[in-house]
Chains A and B, each alone.
Chain A
């Protein structure tokens, strides 16, 4: 963003103001996340920087809260992590399966009432979570699935499918349907065509939809608050309880682990997006 030499002074000043504003906004966006890292290594029980930490005294830092997270007495994080992963994995599988199949139908030009059906399928993403939570709770209570893993998995499938539907339909919008017709004309049956031709081509979209579904489930707290019993506690539930009751630095250790996890997911999602764009021949 170098300025040409002939720029007039007041535009030059304006340009630096603009760069300054942008820097501030980026700082506002990203800095809060980085406060958590150093504080999670705090040797003391406080959630602010101790004098020792400000002077970079090595004794002021410790892995105490990470140890507490893993080995702590009556610590809920082990069970919560196990539950979170089990629920998120099954919810992702369910969302991807239902969402991809539905997206295939929606992308067909023969699909009747496309707008209405699309609106229905996307609705869990638009409706405020608290309302979804109430509605899903009423259903699960009637079906006898409240406070069960099955109930939470089903709830997360509801919330996760819109993301899969959107990403897969987007991938299919650039899809050249003559390849499937070519496969059919060469004698392939529809299932074989899907597995051998369509799926490999839309796979990046499917996976990135799956990532969205996974993160949605892994991070979801409103609906689980209504549904979960003591046995079904998840990481977000534990964090929510911890943040409401007492802010212990153990939460920061967990938060640091979650930030690392989300960085990994972000990198995967970005790589997939670029691959998908390459496959669809979009060059930017």
Chain B
């Protein structure tokens, strides 16, 4: 038989294979078109703005654009001795233009970030520059203040020439690039971010652990009780789950305050003296207690859905083969619940590591997390590029955990309620 006759044709005379491929492609396009509106919407309003954060976090064009002539003339300067006259002239022209446009304040803030002491000498230069004579700018500028005659300050200006910088990321880890371009730690007493990162990890870890220890027994109870009781108890888990986060935080603020219900109870039972009520809020304790209660349902639900599928006959089989209840639990039941434990722990950890509202309200100074620092820079210092850098560092961590989660459980298996 020749290959011609083997080809099966449809009624239109087109080979079946071609026709099938065409139909498949049509279906593919159809399915994609259904997803397209949401995908496009998210790309424009969400994914690209996260990319924009990346751009902002490394962006350092501000100074580059403010001193264009200076940086051009500095290209030839090696930075060992004082820069030549043309650099001074270019700097004078750039600076005069900034003064005219009233942007010299921004420049002094920016340069002060790089090296302390620029603010005052730029102010002085602004005052004196009005009376400058044409020519020989080098001597005139150096005469304004002795720091203008210090090569260190000119090197500091040169360091701001590149349009992109990693300095925000280094700052987020309490490091900076020193004069020689080496990455070094900041002074011990100024390291605030590393403490915050560690505290965020620590709180997220212990909240996850506490949630696991509390959720395991009740998920087991819910999964083994008869339906009519477990449905009722399930409400105790689901009601907090559906209740506003702020309402739950508010209730903890009432319970934990110094004149609050928990302290009243301690005094009543004689555990603590009335004039010696412990502080349970505006510190780490408050953050731990409130976050554990708020995140507990996210641990119970995945554990419950896994435990529900474990047949009780397995435990009976274990016991009939001579295992004590503890051995049977440890060797048979516990290993079967590991997928649920993994899912619950990773979910709670991911949620805890990026928590903002509850720590901000009950955490005080010692119980706040990295998210609070990001919000602080967004709203108070307005250092948006630093906030972006910190945000992206946090995001990288979360995505790494999410990747593990996806490998272990699969995102398709996320269940709600």
Is the CB of B417 closer than 8 A to any CB of chain A? yes
B115-123, B147-155, B235-243: which lies at the A interface? B235-243
Option from A111, A123, A215, A225 in Cβ contact (under 8 Å) with B46: A123
- Residue of chain A at shortest CB distance from B48: A139
Inter-chain CA distance A67–B412, complex, in Å, is: 47
Q: Which residues of B contact A25 (CB under 8 A)?
A: 214-215, 217-218, 296
Is the CB of A21 closer than 8 A to any CB of chain B? yes
Option from A19, A21, A32, A102 in Cβ contact (under 8 Å) with B251: A32
Is the CB of A199 closer than 8 A to any CB of chain B? no
Please tell me if the beta carbons of B391 and A273 are within 8 angstroms of each other in the complex: no
B157-165, B179-187, B370-378: which lies at the A interface? B370-378
Q: Which residues of A contact B353 (CB under 8 A)?
A: 128
Please tell me if the beta carbons of B253 and A243 are within 8 angstroms of each other in the complex: yes
* 8 A Cβ contacts from A15-62 to B: 18-19, 21-22, 25-26, 28-30, 32-33, 35-36, 39, 46-49
B27-35, B66-74, B80-88, B335-343: which lies at the A interface? B27-35
Q: Which residues of A contact B44 (CB under 8 A)?
A: 139
Q: Which residues of B contact A133 (CB under 8 A)?
A: 375, 378
Please tell me if the beta carbons of A18 and B251 are within 8 angstroms of each other in the complex: no
Q: Which residues of A contact B238 (CB under 8 A)?
A: 266, 270
Is the CB of B9 closer than 8 A to any CB of chain A? no
Is the CB of B2 closer than 8 A to any CB of chain A? no
Option from B33, B49, B244, B399 in Cβ contact (under 8 Å) with A135: B49
Inter-chain CA distance A110–B411, complex, in Å, is: 19
A29 touching B32 in the complex, CB below 8 Å, given contacts A36-B254, A129-B354, A138-B52: no
Q: Which residues of A contact B388 (CB under 8 A)?
A: 134
Is the CB of B395 closer than 8 A to any CB of chain A? yes
A134 touching B218 in the complex, CB below 8 Å, given contacts A36-B250, A129-B356, A262-B244: no
In the complex, 7 of the A-B residue pairs with CB atoms within 8 angstroms, ordered by the A residue number, are A29-B240, A30-B240, A33-B243, A101-B35, A104-B34, A111-B28, A119-B406
Majority secondary structure, A binding face? helix
Option from B242, B350, B379 in Cβ contact (under 8 Å) with A126: B350
Number of interface residues of A (CB under 8 A): 92
Inter-chain CA distance A222–B249, complex, in Å, is: 14
Please tell me if the beta carbons of B354 and A131 are within 8 angstroms of each other in the complex: yes
Q: Which residues of A contact B224 (CB under 8 A)?
A: 1
A134 touching B391 in the complex, CB below 8 Å, given contacts A29-B293, A48-B264, A262-B242: yes
Option from A134, A258, A273 in Cβ contact (under 8 Å) with B374: A134
Please tell me if the beta carbons of B50 and A170 are within 8 angstroms of each other in the complex: no
Please tell me if the beta carbons of B415 and A131 are within 8 angstroms of each other in the complex: no
Inter-chain CA distance A30–B350, complex, in Å, is: 24
Is the CB of B42 closer than 8 A to any CB of chain A? yes
Is the CB of A183 closer than 8 A to any CB of chain B? no
- Residue of chain A at shortest CB distance from B347: A126
Residue of B240, B254, B399, B414 with most chain A CB atoms under a 10 A cut-off: B254
Proximity string of chain B (248-264) to chain A, C-beta cutoff 8 Å, 1 when within and 0 when not: 11111111010111001
A220 to chain B, nearest CB (A): 9
Please tell me if the beta carbons of A239 and B38 are within 8 angstroms of each other in the complex: no
Residue of B42, B47, B225 with most chain A CB atoms under a 10 A cut-off: B42
Inter-chain CA distance A49–B267, complex, in Å, is: 14
A28 touching B251 in the complex, CB below 8 Å, given contacts A48-B260, A132-B46, A222-B356: no
- Beyond known contacts A120-B43, A222-B356: 14 more, CB 8 A cutoff: A32-B252, A35-B255, A110-B31, A119-B411, A120-B47, A128-B394, A129-B354, A131-B50, A166-B414, A239-B244, A252-B250, A252-B254, A284-B227, A284-B308
Option from A22, A105, A126 in Cβ contact (under 8 Å) with B32: A105
B210 to chain A, nearest CB (A): 10
Inter-chain CA distance A228–B402, complex, in Å, is: 30
Q: Which residues of B contact A258 (CB under 8 A)?
A: 243-244, 247
- Residue of chain B at shortest CB distance from A119: B411
In the complex, the 9 A-B pairs of residues with the closest C-beta atoms, listed nearest first? A128-B354, A105-B34, A108-B31, A105-B35, A102-B38, A135-B49, A110-B27, A139-B49, A32-B251
A154 touching B45 in the complex, CB below 8 Å, given contacts A105-B34, A111-B31, A243-B361: yes
A71-79, A85-93, A155-163, A174-182: which lies at the B interface? A155-163
Is the CB of B246 closer than 8 A to any CB of chain A? yes
A48 touching B37 in the complex, CB below 8 Å, given contacts A32-B252, A128-B371, A131-B395: no
Is the CB of A81 closer than 8 A to any CB of chain B? no
Inter-chain CA distance A216–B360, complex, in Å, is: 20
Please tell me if the beta carbons of B237 and A29 are within 8 angstroms of each other in the complex: yes
Inter-chain CA distance A92–B62, complex, in Å, is: 41
Inter-chain CA distance A239–B253, complex, in Å, is: 13
* 8 A Cβ contacts from A232-259 to B: 236, 239-240, 243-244, 247, 251-252, 255, 258-259
Please tell me if the beta carbons of A239 and B28 are within 8 angstroms of each other in the complex: no
Is the CB of B8 closer than 8 A to any CB of chain A? no
A239 touching B240 in the complex, CB below 8 Å, given contacts A117-B35, A167-B416, A222-B357: no
Q: Which residues of B contact A259 (CB under 8 A)?
A: 243, 247
